[in-house]
Amino acid sequence: MILIARAPARINLGGDGTDLPAYYERHGGSVVSATISYYVYTILTPGPSHDVQIISADPRALCHKSACDDLLWSDDLRLPKAITYHFNLCEGLTVFLASQVPPGTGLGSSGSVAVAMIKALAFWCGLDLGPRQVAELACYIEIEKMAMPVGKQDQYAAAFGGLNCIEFSRDGVSVEPLRVSPETHDALERGLMLFFTGGSRQSSTILQRQKQASQQGDGDTVRALETIKEIGLEIRAALEEGNLDVFGKLLHQSWMEKRHLTEGITNPFLDQCYQTARDCGALGGKVTGAGGGGFLLLYCPEDCQKAVVDAMTTLGLQYWPFSLDAKGVQVMEAVSWSRQHAPHHVSLVMEGSRVGAGE
């Protein structure tokens, strides 16, 4: 008896920061996002007695929940705790979480965890939720119930998969696949490079500062986000036109704007790495996610890539090859167990909407 679901990590190519509600509810947001071939897995198996046990591949995180007892939960498992509580599972179940990317490194792993868990737990309860339903519930739990200062792009990117323009407004979220030729898609995939800087960071601190600046109407922050959004739309156009040299230069312009959004987005070491990559031939790049550490994403012509890899390795960075993912969240395997009917206590209702099978 086993069920395995997975959700991909993501890279942001344009529109960084405009998916935060504090900004898009006033001005509208738009990001260009792509999912990649690194994944978060949720594995469900029947557990002993009536306990729900959650185990993470990260040895710092372990929790055990009795059916009627409150949880003793480490900070590393606050999000899985909230998701499990939302489903209100009171039957024997073991949930195992594993990620191919380190947490807090800017590849949207928390959104991927939420999406993979929701897809798996809903399926376990007899609900085969579609990508929009999964993304909406993940956003509801992270942003509304947990009050996390995060945006919505990670959940939608992980749920839908692919290379998309995702737009945000008070009225909702739209996901539109980019119209790129197979040749452009393959060339983009070959030109993108990912390097692990060896560190993680608390993105919530950076995002909280950006959220407060947007809410307070800070002119510099709002103007920078407007510019980043405009560059993001130009990035979409460049990709759909197949002009990857322009894409690389726009990626650089966007990073130059983003690094001034708030304190902590970059540091002298990250600036050194990025400038070295540029000196070796990379056309553009950025620190992934909120910034401050994690991965350095670059776009580089193929004939310059060896020089970039050699230079980044000398600086202590690790090259992480990847391909683009097109599928998003999915149940990988469900073997030898009788599907459970959704119990009456499972709550999939959010303010203003209902999430259920077939919607």
Question: What are the DSSP calls for 216-248, one per residue?
Answer: TT-HHHHHHHHHHHHHHHHHHHHHHHT-HHHHH
How far apart, in whole angstroms, are the C-alpha atoms of residue 17 and residue 13? Answer: 11
Run of H or E residues at 353? strand 353-354
Annotation says 271 is catalytic: no
- Residues forming beta bridges with residue 34, ordered by sequence position: 11, 163
> Which residues are within 8 A (CB) of 163 and not within 5 positions of it... i.e. 6 or more apart?
32, 33, 34, 177, 178, 180, 185, 188, 239, 324
Catalytic residue, chosen from 16, 19, 154, 325, is: 154
Contact criterion met (CB below 8 Å) for 158 and 111? yes
Amino acid identity, residue 300? C
> Which residues are within 8 A (CB) of 331 and not within 5 positions of it... i.e. 6 or more apart?
3, 4, 5, 119, 120, 123, 128
Cβ neighbourhood burial of 239 (10 Å; 0-12, 13-18, 19+): buried
Q: Annotated catalytic sites, by residue?
A: 154
